[in-house]
Structure 1
């Protein structure tokens, strides 16, 4: 949407469309939508890639819904330093743990409720490419 509207529009009001679990809080609260809603949605894509699990309403191994439970679970695992437990088991441990941890940290940064606390997609790309360090 941000691309279609151009730089003249910093905020847009529109109707909600999307998949549960990918929708930023702004959609639900009725706050004006910015490009940061895409950043919030991107976190779920990152978590799906890391875990090898698709976003759904099916209960995940720890109970609850993947789209609600997994991001919170992932954040706790990253803080505890247990990123390996989040990695897709089909990889059989053959993963660069530093890169996986970085992707998990970026996903956690993208899920912030306040859009001002989320990174831009440009910052996400720079961090994942190793050009900028994450705080």
Structure 2
């Protein structure tokens, strides 16, 4: 029904926070509210790293599952990987990767017992094709 999207046709757009400022590479437009939805869930506050308490019916964000996570630890990447087709009504479909960076793993029990030191965790990521995303809840 449409021509395939050529891998590398746009982006990648790498979006992240540095301090209090969010930005995307390759002249990508940064959307603080969308980034906040990934980080905080269904809350409107986009101005800090605070993780709000959940209320009934509220969608949780990454900070609810990983206490101590900061916005600067989260990186969202949009890439044309060749999946999807470019003549669809919504345009080409990106592949979206969410990853964590600059986190330290603490050996709570083994640190005291065997003297294990904290180690830097390697980047952890999760990827999904844009067509598989759902824009409404539930």
Normalising to structure 1: TM-score of the pair? 0.28
- Bigger share in strand: 2
Structure number with bigger Rg = 2
- Bigger share in helix: 1
Normalising to structure 2: TM-score of the pair? 0.28
